[in-house]
Amino acid sequence: MNIEHLRLFVRVAATHNISQAGQELGLSAAVASNYLSKLEQDLGVRLLHRSTRKVALSEEGRAFLLHAEDVLASVEAALTSVGVGQSRPSGILRITAPASFGRMHLIPALPGFLQRYPDLHLDMRLTDTQVDLVGGGFDIAIRNSSLTDSTLVARALATDHRQLYAAPDYLARAGVPTHPQELLQHQCIHLIGLDSWSFSTEQGELTLKTQGRLRVDNGEAMRDACVAGLGIAQISRWNAYQHVQRGELLSILTEYPLISQAAIWALYPSSRQLAPKVRAFIDYFADYFGDPPYWSV
């Protein structure tokens, strides 16, 4: 089995485009198509469904992909161990991350990252929709929520402390709540699907279904609405810290901490052989964010 054929197959699985995958590896579309056909002949199964518009993995192709990735990672690790393989991360690193966090905390760090790793190219998709990491062909997914997919490997990059905030003018108009129960008399701004807030109290956990006239689907929009005095919002510290420093937001009910299992996670498909480019990204950003992270200092 030819390693170059495997490498091409893995890139086609990620890009769903034979020409693009071939171009990444320095191959013409015709040569790339021939390599894939030869791989299918060697295996005796169809790995790809081809059409004039797209390429999709067959059931056998999906089953073979994980093993092909492990073989390539093992080969790269073996070559590197004897000084033959690529000594520094290279190629295309595909990342998906939440829009607000990516814009505020990933993009500003990229100049230093790309300077450190000049052979890396980044394909970054910023979206608040949780995409399929494997199906979308991503190497890393950044998420700031509790984890539910046990098939992925996760590493915590930073804490994600959440707090209730309000603008000074809102509190001047509506009053400062002194107990979570008083939130039921306030305007609360919600991210869609997150209108139940849980607090730690002396009597135990208290969960409230808060009410408000505004729901949004973006963390920065929720924060900006809070700054504008439209109500009280539950905001991650990484999202609010600059506005807190400027006095535009005040934290409230700090003696009743919110109960949350969220963190800033880096997720990747397999830990058997961690690709150098993935390890480089994770190590760089864990160090860049700091412990505690710079937005909490």
74-89 average pLDDT score: 65
Phi first, then psi: what are they for 161, rounded to 5°?
-75, 130
Per cent of the chain over pLDDT 90 is 42
CB 129 within 8 A of CB 136: no
86 pLDDT exceeds 60? no
Sequence-ordered alpha helix ranges (H) in 82-156:
99-101, 110-116
pLDDT tens digits for range 15-56: 888 888 888 888 898 999 999 999 999 889 999 988 767 788
Q: What is the pTM of this model?
A: 0.71
191 pLDDT exceeds 60? yes
pLDDT tens digits for range 230-263: 999 999 999 999 999 999 999 999 999 998 767 8
3-state secondary structure of 159: strand
pLDDT tens digits for range 57-67: 888 888 888 78
pLDDT at 231: 95
Rounded distance between C-alpha atoms, residue 35 and residue 37, angstroms: 5
pLDDT band for position 201 (cuts 50, 70, 90): confident
271 pLDDT exceeds 60? no
pLDDT tens digits for range 92-103: 888 999 988 999
Which DSSP string do the residues of 198-245 spell out, in sequence order? EEEETTEEEEEE---SEEES-HHHHHHHHHTTS-EEEEEHHHHHHHHH
84 pLDDT exceeds 70? no
199-214 average pLDDT score: 90
pLDDT at 270: 65
Most confident of 142-146, 240-244, 277-281: 240-244
pLDDT band for position 111 (cuts 50, 70, 90): very high
Region label for 81, one of left (φ > 0), alpha (ψ between -120 and 50) or beta (otherwise): alpha
109 pLDDT exceeds 90? yes
pLDDT at 248: 97
74 pLDDT exceeds 80? no
